[in-house]
Amino acid sequence: MPENLRQELCEALAQARGVLQDLDRLGLGALPLPALADNPPVCPLSVRGLDRGGTAPCRSETLDEVRADLGDCQRCPLARGRRHIVFGAGAPRARLVLVGEGPGREEDERGEPFVGEAGRLLDRMLFAIGLERSEVYLCNVVKCRPPGNRDPEPGEIAACRPFLERQLAAIAPEMILALGRVASQSLLASGTPISRLRGQWRDYQGIPLLPTYHPAYLLRNPAAKRESWEDLKQVRQRLRGGG
């Protein structure tokens, strides 16, 4: 550190110490700071997850801020083939966030998550537990369509990951429903098959997360709907306040 800067810093600290000593002599045990509630500072990423009790003196970013930062993202090769970035949609203060894999053809065309056939099944699944899509938040592990609907590559998932994490921190939901293998394994950093992960509550940065089957899988394997219904009932129970 340059000498003149070090000296300025020492002087500022000495002044601050003097002010604190004066306040102490006046019998003020705490600094009369203004309330932080109106526009508290953005928390560093590392502590955002701790803000869930509502007591931490900092707020997370808003979803709009995360979207603005994503911009016209070119951080991975998926950018080249996409028509739209599918950022996510739903209630910014949703109690439940559903995380899918990545946009398909219709989502890419419209820029909205889960608007194709799997999305229509998802709507019916939500309806079955008394929810509408506008009450939850829907997003994906990657925000751009993988060509031919292939699975997203690890590098693509990694490039998108900070934005998914920031979305989840901004919403701070009470629970997450991870739809399918890609979302479940990636959020939990696990290699366990979805058939073993599903149906059991896990932890994602302090938020309860339930892995379940992807609706597209259910369209191909209707017999798995029975297990999926068991998972949805667990979500319904938690939303009603029964852990």
Binding positions for ligand URA, rule: CB under 6 A? 100-104, 107, 113-114, 116, 118-119, 140, 216
128 to 52, 90, 227, 231, 232: CA distances (angstroms): 28, 18, 14, 12, 8
Reported residue count of the chain is: 243
Q: Which of 55, 156, 138 is nearest to 89 (CA)?
A: 138
> CB atoms < 10 A from the CB of 120, how many?
13
The nearest distance, CB 89 to ligand URA, in angstroms, is 9
- Shortest-Cβ-distance residue relative to ligand URA: 100
Nearer to ligand URA among residue 175 and residue 179 (C-beta): 179
The nearest distance, CB 140 to ligand URA, in angstroms, is 5
Strands (DSSP E) found in the chain: 89-90, 96-100, 137-140, 175-179, 202-204, 207-212
Nearer to ligand URA among residue 49 and residue 113 (C-beta): 113
The nearest distance, CB 102 to ligand URA, in angstroms, is 6
Nearer to ligand URA among residue 140 and residue 234 (C-beta): 140
Nearer to ligand URA among residue 138 and residue 235 (C-beta): 138
